[in-house]
Amino acid sequence: MSSISGSPATGAKTRGGPSRLGSSIAFEWTKLTSVRSTWWNVTISSVVTIALGLLLGGSMKASADNGYDVAMPAPHVAFQSLIAAQFLVMVMATLFIASEYTSGSIKTTLQSVPVRARMLFGKVAVIAAIGLVIGVVQSTIGTAAIALLAGDYSSFTATELSLTILGSAVDFALLGITALGLATAFRSATGTIIATVGLFGLPRIVPIFNIEWLTDFSQYFPTEAGTVLGLQTTAPYGWSTATLVLLAWAATALTAGYAVLHIRDA
Amino acid sequence: MIVLADLTKRYGEKTAVDHLSFQIQPGVVTGFLGPNGAGKSSTMRMILGLDRPTAGTVEIAGRPYRDIAYPLRTIGALLDPRTGHPGQSARSHLLGMARSNRLPSSRVDHVLGAVGLAEVARKRIGSFSLGMGQRLGIASALLGDPQIVMLDEPVNGLDPDGVVWIRKLMRSLAAEGRTVFVSSHLMSEMQETADHLIVIGRGALIADAPIDQVIAQSTRNSVKVRSPQTASLREALERAGMTVTTLEDSELQVTAGNLDQVGAIAFSIGAQVDELAFHRPSLEQAYLELTADSLEYDAILPRPTGT
Ligand SMILES: Nc1ncnc2c1ncn2[C@@H]1O[C@H](COP(=O)(O)OP(=O)(O)OP(=O)(O)O)[C@@H](O)[C@H]1O
Ligand SMILES: [Mg+2]
């Protein structure tokens, strides 16, 4: 039996607060990127975005050629087609923690990073970064796919494009964090995904009931706020309120997740 | 060193760990024994800060687990053969752990080699057999080259080579001055590996002593004596307060007495002694005796059916 201390265990790097946080982020990054389902998720949502973009672009061109007025800036059309991509980012964030409870690897995680807040922050940082990147990439490829087929009928300005890219990035990152917080609280993928479907679907269903306060409230659901950012609309509120609304959802979900993490046994 | 003070854990109504206080010393292998459901795994989860104690404290090298900046460098543990995400490769699982505690990636390759998983390092953990999973768990425990190693039923699922390997590993870790704390249900294995034993039953401490002492305290330590005059010898031994059972026509088993005493009594009554031997019980016998009263899940024997 060879001794276990064959190579030095301690690196030469200095210790300290920020580096502990950094190592927890590196840990979570390694986990997320070394699991195949992450890459499937990214691939599927890109394929869906491109396919939807081509479909929308093609039908815009066909309608416009037939004399209908369907002209709309490509980035805005693209954002509306990103609903599947948004949902998949939330699924990714959900599985990021829920699968740790299913597989039992949460024990390894908390053994490695025992401070709950630091562990959760590591995951938040990784999901935020991934969400930002996916938001940028998806809105860009969606715009390109639409512009490719719709041509002049989807002309847009550089400002429109940059604002939609920025809005998507912020939207995706904060949606991801919201799902992460919910999944940390629920500890189950099924429960969290049902809640996510509710967050997406309720604003569409609620107006049917014609209850005024409920309809008002549903305007503050994350997808509605995300749409304000993606399309740069001013109703029902502007971009600053929309950002605050998304931040509030993310903060609430994270607080719930942290509370459960703090109180319950692993 | 691990120090438990008055450690208690209740899950709802169920008291899994009941005011446990003991210390686990470096330089020796400490075996952690107890019937199913005695609270061994619960105790270990609290040591690692995974479960929150209802009362009491645990300190590892003087600090609670959560206060250790890079805990894998201080204490390595195997709790469950299911370590890691099934979709991850063994190597990326360990690499993640290494990054979390700022360990160089050379440690990953080193421990993979040490547990014999180098060839399957890039295979998905989900495809591993129980024994391979167990080896990966041991690799995770050794990753940070820790001074304290804690293993919950490490030989579970290992082949005979693996069992021998684990035994040697634990012995060599202890010989290097590390703290080794290991639970097991395999008494013969423990007898060969452990120096010190902690025995619990229903969450409470039953014994905390060197293994030799645990065995020596057993009432099953006995003297076997063979003689043609068993009847008179038996009477004389019983008069001296010893418990005697007749094994065969010419053989007696004597407890609560030692060789000298039995020999002297035989001599005093002029009995011929053909054989006189000391019988030392196995750890298993001593253990069964210790825990007889605290079995959590006692076997239910079939009742005779009557009409
Ligand atoms: N998370 C939990 N929730 C409820 N009860 C639990 C929990 N974990 C353990 N228990 C109970 O606590 C008791 C101790 O269980 P534990 O797993 O610690 O025993 P053990 O000594 O490791 O047993 P074994 O030898 O079978 O592994 C058992 O009665 C078990 O049912
Ligand atoms: Mg157990």
For A204-261, the three-class secondary structure string (H helix, E strand, C coil) is HHHHHHCCHHHHHHHCCCHHHHHHHHHHCCCCCCCHHHHHHHHHHHHHHHHHHHHHHH
Strand partners, A54: none
CA dihedral over B181, B186, B187, B190, signed as positive or negative: negative
**A124-141: pLDDT as tens digits:** 999 999 999 999 999 999
* Reported confidence tier of residue A147, pLDDT bands at 50, 70, 90: very high
The arithmetic mean of pLDDT across residues B244-268, rounded, is 85
CA A261 to chain B, closest CA, distance in angstroms equals: 10
* Reported confidence tier of residue A1, pLDDT bands at 50, 70, 90: very low
**Residue B107, H or E segment:** helix B106-114
Structure tokens belonging to residue A119: 């562990």
Least confident of A5-19, A53-67, A100-114, B270-284: A5-19
The number of the ligand nearest the C-alpha atom of B78 reads 2
Q: What angle do CA B224, B228, B232 make, to 5 degrees?
A: 85
Closest protein CA for atom 30 of ligand 1 = B37
Query: What is the C-alpha separation between B4 and B30, in angstroms, rounded?
Result: 14
Q: Which of B36, B42, B153, B187 to mutate to test the pocket of ligand 1 (most atoms within 8 A of CB)?
A: B42
pLDDT at position A19 is: 81
The mean of the pLDDT values for chain A is 90
How far, in Å, is the centroid of ligand 2 from the Cα of B298? 17
pLDDT at position B304 is: 53
Answer whether residue A226 shows pLDDT above 60.
Answer: yes
Q: Give, as one character, the DSSP assignment of residue B68.
A: -
pLDDT at position B2 is: 96
Exposed/middle/buried for residue A264 (C-beta within 10 Å: 0-12, 13-18, 19+): exposed
Closest protein CA for atom 5 of ligand 1 = B11
pLDDT at position B302 is: 55
The arithmetic mean of pLDDT across residues B178-189, rounded, is 95
All domains of chain B, ordered by start, with CATH?
2-210 (3.40.50.300), 222-279 (3.30.70.100)
Answer whether residue B250 shows pLDDT above 90.
Answer: no
Least confident of B90-99, B146-155, B284-293: B284-293
pLDDT at position B277 is: 87
Answer whether residue A18 shows pLDDT above 70.
Answer: no
How far, in Å, is the centroid of ligand 1 from the Cα of B298? 15
The number of the ligand nearest the C-alpha atom of B151 reads 2
* Reported confidence tier of residue B298, pLDDT bands at 50, 70, 90: low
pLDDT at position B83 is: 80
Q: Which of B10, B15, B32, B40 to mutate to test the pocket of ligand 1 (most atoms within 8 A of CB)?
A: B40
How far, in Å, is the centroid of ligand 1 from the Cα of B17? 9
pLDDT at position A13 is: 45
Answer whether residue B4 shows pLDDT above 50.
Answer: yes
Question: Which of A11, A99, A114 has its CB closest to that of B85?
Answer: A99
- Cβ-based contacts of A24 with chain B (< 8 Å): 100
Which residues contact ligand 1 via a Cβ below 6 A? Answer: B 11, 14, 16, 34, 36-42
Q: How big, in percent rounded to 5, are the helix, strand and coil portions of chain B? A: 35, 25, 35
The arithmetic mean of pLDDT across residues A146-175, rounded, is 94
In contact, B133 and B80? CB cutoff 8 Å: no
Chain A residue with minimal CA distance to B83?
Answer: A105
The mean of the pLDDT values for chain B is 91
pLDDT at position A71 is: 87
Q: Where are the domains of chain A?
A: 20-263
The share of chain A scoring above pLDDT 90, in percent, equals: 71
pLDDT at position B73 is: 97
Answer whether residue B193 shows pLDDT above 80.
Answer: yes
Helix (H, G, I), strand (E, B) or coil at B134: helix
Helix (H, G, I), strand (E, B) or coil at B41: helix
Query: What is the C-alpha separation between B258 and B278, in angstroms, rounded?
Result: 8
Answer whether residue A15 shows pLDDT above 60.
Answer: no
The arithmetic mean of pLDDT across residues B118-133, rounded, is 93
The arithmetic mean of pLDDT across residues B19-30, rounded, is 97
Q: Please judge whether B97 and A27 are an interchain contact, meaning their C-beta atoms are less than 8 angstroms apart.
A: yes
Q: Please judge whether B80 and A24 are an interchain contact, meaning their C-beta atoms are less than 8 angstroms apart.
A: no
Answer whether residue A2 shows pLDDT above 50.
Answer: no
Q: Please judge whether A30 and B45 are an interchain contact, meaning their C-beta atoms are less than 8 angstroms apart.
A: no
How far, in Å, is the centroid of ligand 2 from the Cα of B37? 7
* Reported confidence tier of residue B142, pLDDT bands at 50, 70, 90: very high
How far, in Å, is the centroid of ligand 2 from the Cα of B134? 14
The number of the ligand nearest the C-alpha atom of B185 reads 1
Q: In angstroms, what CA-CA distances link A38 with A41, A130, B297?
A: 5, 10, 44
pLDDT at position B88 is: 92
Answer whether residue B6 shows pLDDT above 70.
Answer: yes
Question: Which of A4, A20, A35 has its CB closest to that of B111?
Answer: A4
Q: Which of B41, B152, B187, B295 to mutate to test the pocket of ligand 1 (most atoms within 8 A of CB)?
A: B41
Query: What is the C-alpha separation between A96 and B37, in angstroms, rounded?
Result: 32
